[in-house]
Structure 1
Amino acid sequence: MAPYLQTVTSFADVPVSDAGVDTVAFLKAAEGVVGLFDLLGSPAFVFVKTDLQTNIGKVRERYNAFPDKSSTLELLVVNEKGEKKRKATEGLMWLLRGLAFTCKALLISQANATQELAESFTKAYGLTLEKFHGFLTQKAIALAMKACPYRATLNEKLCADPAGGAPVSEAEMNEGLNKWLAALDAIVTRVQTFYTTGGHDKGF
């Protein structure tokens, strides 16, 4: 079996067309991010893992109820617009924010080979989620970030073969991780721009 990133749906394989981002493939890829935090097994990421799972569930519930009107993320949001609660629209908004945080943290880490994860994730939090949280939540998360695993631990687990075979090299792992992150960043940016330009992030 291939290392972790090859066992999940890559954001690079999520179909994106003029109509939007494929909902089913996107949710499968997002589940891979949840699995990444499981792989790390650190209490520092409990808050983001739980948030991701909850919001994946909200979007999937909407898709299951109205698959014909939810084939892309954009279509799902547009078709929920006239409803009172817009549960999936809000869930997707927060899911994108959680993914943006994760993506930014790993991009910072990849760009700074000697930087520990605690610093990378703390910087990413300040650039993404912090402005949406109250003072007490900010302080709690700042404390949690101190419990981030070491960078070497992440690299070792991403290189390891889940089936127990020989690990891949860090160079090979980094190549796959960079591709995964680039695609994730592009999708998050695209859909967040859709939210902003369409005013879909208002009213929550």
Structure 2
Amino acid sequence: MKPYFETVKSFADVRVTDAGVDTAEFLEASDGLVQLFDLLGTGVFGFVQSDIRGNIAGVRSRFEANKEASSTLEDLVRKEARERKKDATACLVRLTRGLSFTCASLQNMQSDTSAELYACFKRSYDVVLSHHHSFIIRSVVGVALRAVPRRPDFYARIAQGGDVAQLDVALARWLAGLHVLVGRISKFLEDGGYGRV
């Protein structure tokens, strides 16, 4: 099997122009993110995967309905706003939250190499997502976070037998691209009054 980062589109390769973030490429990279959660283990992040899949589907549905007017995420949101609709925009807001959580968690993992993964994910959850969730959801998430695999197991799953040092380089590049996209999309949504990430 090939290492994970050789099988999915990297967020670092999603085109960004003056017009905005390429919608099709962004959706393709987001699909790859769902596969990353599969590597964490069955059911560990089922709630995140389900949410991300649903939000990708919501944005994709709008994109597929009018590709020309939705070629960038920014165009998609503006067009929906002109039509006084918010379905895909709401999905993009929630998807961006999920991407932000993932990005922060994996950045924590890379910067704090002595911490167990569940601690890295918990720190990120507390900052990025917990204030969007009810007490019950926060409790469910707390239990799920405890099921995150150990760092060596996670790396082995992503590397798929490849070199872990090369994996770290690919992960850093993927995260840098994701970080830029999340920041850009969040700022656009908030500045335009389309939704707060």
TM-score with structure 1 setting the length = 0.93
Question: Hey, what does 2:185 align to over in structure 1?
Answer: 191
Find the aligned partners of 2:17 and 2:85 in 1 and give their Cα distance.
Answer: 28
Q: Deviations over 1:8-29 (max 9, x none)?
A: 0111110001100000000000
Cα distance, 1:38 vs structure 2: 1.2
Q: 2:171 is matched with which residue?
A: 177
Question: 1:115 Cα deviation (Å)?
Answer: 1.1
Q: How far did 1:55 drift?
A: 0.3
1:42 and 1:124 mapped to 2: Cα distance? 21
CA contact (8 A) 1:12 1:179 kept: yes
**Residue 118 (1) aligns with residue 118 (2):** yes
Within 5 A, what are the aligned runs for 1:82-101?
82-101=82-101
Say if 1:101 and 1:125, in contact at 8 Å, map to a contact too. yes
Instruction: State percent identity of aligned pairs.
Output: 42
Query: Structure 2 counterpart of 1:10, which letter?
Result: S
Deviation, structure 1 residue 2: 3.5
Structure 1 residues 35-50: aligned runs within 5 Å:
35-50=35-50
Q: Distance in 1 between matches of 2:185 and 2:151?
A: 30
Q: Please, which runs of 5 or more residues in structure 2 have no aligned partner? A: none
Amino acid at match of 1:193: K
Q: How many angstroms does 1:84 deviate by? A: 4.2
Structure 1 pair 11/26, CA: closer, same or farther in 2 (3 Å)? same
- Look up the match of 1:163: none
Greater CA deviation, 8-17 or 84-93? 84-93
1:74, CA displacement in angstroms? 0.5
Matched residue pairs, number? 196
SS in 1 for 2:82: coil
Mark the runs of 5 or more structure 1 residues left unpaired by the alignment: 161-166
1:164 match: none
Q: Distance in 2 between matches of 1:146 and 1:135?
A: 17
RMSD between superposed Cα atoms in Å: 1.2
- What's the TM-score, normalizing by structure 2? 0.96
Secondary structure of 1:81's partner?
helix
**Partner residue in 2 for 1:9:** 9
Mapped contact 1:59–1:92 kept (Cα < 8 A): yes
Larger mean Cα displacement after TM superposition, 121-130 or 138-147:
138-147
State the distance in 2 between where 1:186 and 1:177 align: 14
8 Å CA contact 1:22, 1:72 repeated in 2: yes
Correspondence list, 1:23-34, <5 A: 23-34=23-34
In structure 1, distance between residues paired with 2:44 and 2:158? 18
Contact 1:42 1:149 in 2 (8 A): no
Task: Deviation per CA, 1:79-106: give whole Å up to 9, x if none.
Answer: 0003344110000100000010011000
